[in-house]
Amino acid sequence: MPEFPEEVLTVSKKGRVEVRALVRRGKFALIEYLDPETMERTEDKYKLVLIGDDGAVEEYFILPLKQANRRLMVIPREKKGDKLMVWNREAQRAEPMFP
């Protein structure tokens, strides 16, 4: 078995030693859904869009569970890709999700 630095090792809930291994790096965008009149959130969900350094795009909905502080990530049936326009609250304008 290869030797690993202590800082990449972790212990699972089952007590097994595991190695944290990088799968991919990249950029992300976290999107929420707002009512256009009130600017309040319409649903308690987010959309997470990831773009790897290799250009691969992954999309997930992050949904709350009934248990406090627990979330479920779901792959959407229809993927929108990385070309969506989003509202930038700070700048008060529409802009590409990944400028």
Residue 8, helix vs strand vs coil:
helix
At 72 the pLDDT is: 93
At 76 the pLDDT is: 87
Residues whose CB is less than 8 angstroms from the CB of residue 55 and which lie 6 or more positions away in sequence, other chains included: none
At 94 the pLDDT is: 95
**What are the angstrom distances between the C-alpha of 51 and each of 42, 66, 93?**
26, 30, 23
Which parts of the chain register pLDDT below 70? 1
First to last CA, the chain: 44
Domain definitions of the chain by residue range = 25-96
At 81 the pLDDT is: 84
